[in-house]
With several copies, the nearest count.
Chain A
């Protein structure tokens, strides 16, 4: 069985010391170990950003795509090989600015992948511009007079789109995050794991301390029913998305893959692709 070491690489990290992404990476590796996955059976598709560099630091099959497009690739990876544990990962800009359209459609398509967002409410790699999840009034290079746009509510959007697994973690709360990621991977369908993953270099407002004091933890609330969609939506609306834990889970999720007519359990890559004469001739017949 694979260990943490098996999921690490020898690359020296390019992240700043203290960056939230370290914690997300560690939790992800831990979850994979605890689920007894093997590195060769994990495919991780990452976007562009500081967060997108995660593929350099995890020993798995890694695809580092262009900015904003991790989700279309990840869904296709899963369809091509259903035996893989497929993860998509990236930042708030990657996922909710340029990648927003793909996010919305992945949510409703429900291919069995897990999407781990490292939300630091800023653009890290391009050195500190306002991101779609930045708070109103936030001052950055691109909004020196304060952000005047409303921030994206990615978890409410997930619920409104019919996503069956909506969770939020905090990079520094490893225990909870590992649990969340494990359940997300096991969930049959598209699972959103948002994480608050502080950028210690450029975001001096949304810090570890900020999140620790602001986040409401539904995992610790015995009265909270994570199967109640309305309740989940209300919780997120009321707390301005500053909620952590597994916020919503649909007990009746059916994977996209299971709904494709004629689709085989082994997906695509493990099939023989040569067409037999009978099939070929049946197809040709309509052109005669």
Chain B
């Protein structure tokens, strides 16, 4: 009995594989397994290769699997592309019709099944997927009933006959495997049956927004962010919110500022190109001290880049991308589950620090399903709505006009002063992106400028949030620093590093990317070697760390920027190399393993004098 299996299915994009996988993952989750699912897909709608991988386990899993146990392939291209990732001895199930050939040197059993023929006999092309599901269940020892139950509830509205056909197809697939390969089993331990949630990060962000009091969303579709607004537009009618698809990202962010100014909690969600377009207006939010929340689901950049591929290369743009000096707060989730309270918290931070709060999600968190523990999604464990410094309407009513100072020197411990909201008598003020005085009116006084600039920047140096989270051994020899999707792999790598090297390892998850929590990082790393793992080409977070004063001599780096996810193995290998003193900078990916590299920070090469 296995504690964990990895199932993969490959075929043509747009052919319905996604819904097959959705069924598989949901049934697995309902059976009490932990699920981590990911996929390869291209920026096209129909045609071309796609593959979906699901790692299911009786324990929490949060990283790509080291290999695949059962690979289902609907075309030869999928075999060619996926077969080299299987575990030795794995099962590769192919449609008889494709005349499958296994590439040389692959240690796997290629089994063929007359999927096309059986589908034809069933009389509905959609049934191929159900045959595949049945067959997969049989190999993995998952009860077919779970699949059937799901089909009943999901497609019940399409009529009994249709459901019966689905059931029949599933059973046929199951039976075919049992009958033909009675010995071949990858049986996984039974799931604990506990009810968990399964969702993608974009859905988690939508949930967090809902819990965080966000009722206005202004956004523009973009991969891989669109599902955030698409989730909220479905949820909002229940709570009286409004999600507007704007004409572009410039409009989206400015609309959020408008709503924020008025007192609503507003959010926009976008990816890199949108972040670039929002730079000017983020400065406006900072200048007017208006709360606004922005989710960036990072993808391959720059420009259009690789819209369907993983990357974490927007950090510099998120923290420093606009002209002038302006405050921002940049958070990063370490898992889908974490994104729910983090998004809710973002609104509290925005209301308390009166500046843009950005969430640096990434494609793999945004789009790939992960198990979320019920505790992570409990309403009662969400941060309470905290509106931050607000003027008191009764107090203002008692004053005359032109008394309330929106940009008053009377600030709270964070350097923030109370804001008034439209509708509050005597609270009128001017919120302008131009430099201004206490009432908001434009002034170019030099002394005022210095005060206002300090006022704005100072606030973010004291952001009250859990900036870092440490996992693994105390007094580690190596601390892997990561954020976003890499955190999962990093956490799973701890045991492997320790096993491989006999040294102690830890992981420091960065939850607050900016302002860089250097002191907190130093406190955790102590004398250890710190290895920053990030999915970009120039080591953006390392650069930020060094710029913020971190000693470069003690900073190691593993980068991957080929669009694929960082794996446990890569982190382990890089950590081993670091601990062995083999180098300071490493890269991985592009079809090659971990290898030494030059310092990725861009500087001008030394020249002859």
Contact = CB atoms under 8 A, between A and B. Distances in A.
Interface of A: 6, 9-11, 14-17, 38-41, 43, 45, 48, 50, 53, 55-56, 59-69, 71-77, 79-81, 83-84, 97-98, 100-102, 104-105, 109, 123-127, 129-130, 132, 141-145, 201-202, 260-264, 267-269, 271, 273-275, 277, 279-280, 282-284, 287-288
B115 to A, nearest CB: 21
Contact of A284 (B215, B256, B377): B377
B433 interface: yes
A124 B18 CA distance: 18
A97 B304 contact: no
Interface stretch (B64-72, B195-203, B562-570): B195-203
Interface string B169-212: 00000000000000000000000000111110001000100110
A87 to B, nearest CB: 12
Contacts of B251: 69, 71-72, 101-102, 105
Contacts of A73: 254-255, 257-258, 261
Given A81-B423, A143-B245, A268 B401 contact: no
A61 B424 CA distance: 9
B120 interface: no
B426 interface: yes
Nearest to A201: B45
A80 B262 contact: yes
B422 A277 contact: no
Give 3 nearest A-B pairs by CB, closest first.
Answer: A262-B237, A73-B258, A273-B213
Contact of B433 (A39, A65, A262): A65
B3 to A, nearest CB: 23
B198 A79 contact: no
Contacts, number: 272
A278 to B, nearest CB: 10
A271 to B, nearest CB: 6
Nearest to B222: A126
B441 interface: yes
Contact of A16 (B14, B246, B379): B14
A275 B226 contact: no
Nearest to B380: A277
B139 interface: no
Contact of A66 (B195, B229, B284): B284
B265 A273 contact: yes
Given A129-B226, A287-B372, A80 B240 contact: no
A77 B422 contact: yes
A197 to B, nearest CB: 14
Interface string B433-450: 110000011100000000
Given A50-B45, A73-B255, A268-B240, A84 B233 contact: no
A155 B234 CA distance: 33
Contacts of B372: 287
25 contacts: A15-B45, A16-B45, A40-B426, A55-B432, A56-B442, A59-B401, A63-B432, A64-B304, A65-B257, A66-B433, A75-B258, A76-B218, A76-B255, A83-B423, A97-B248, A100-B247, A129-B230, A129-B245, A141-B226, A142-B245, A145-B237, A262-B237, A269-B264, A275-B210, A283-B210
Given A10-B402, A60-B428, A72-B250, 9 more contacts: A15-B45, A16-B47, A76-B255, A80-B264, A81-B262, A98-B249, A101-B248, A271-B239, A273-B215
A226 to B, nearest CB: 28
Contacts of B42: 14
A77 B14 CA distance: 36
A287 B199 contact: yes
